Amino acid sequence: MKRTLLITVFLAFALPILRPLQAQSTELGILAGGSLYSGDLSPKEFGLYLEDVSPAFGFFGRFNINQALALRLGLSLGKVSANDLNHGRADRGLNFRSNITEFALTGEVNLFKLGSYQDRGVMPFIFAGVGVFHFNPEAEFDGDYIELQPLGTEGQGLTGYEAPYQLTELAVPVGLGVKFLLNETITLGLEFGGRKLFTDYLDDVSNTQVNYFDVLEGSGELAARMSNPTLKDPSPDTADYRRGGKFNDWYYFGGITLSFHLQGGGGGGFGRGKGIGCPTF
For residue range 111-132, what is the model confidence (pLDDT) as tens digits? 998 877 777 899 999 999 999 9
Answer whether 134's CB lies under 8 Å from 167's CB. yes
Percent of the chain with pLDDT over 90: 67
Rounded CA-CA distance 131/74 in Å is 9
Rounded (5°) CA angle 215-217-223:
40
Which residues have CB under 8 Å from 220's CB, separation 6+?
151
Beta bridge partners of 34: 55, 254
Q: CATH second-level architecture of 2-261?
A: Beta Barrel (2.40)
Rounded CA-CA distance 149/126 in Å is 35
Residues 41-81: pLDDT tens digits?
A: 988 766 677 778 999 999 999 999 988 999 999 999 999 99
| 3-state SS, one letter per residue, for 180-216 | EECCCCEEEEEEEEEEEECCCCCCCCCCCEEEHHHHH
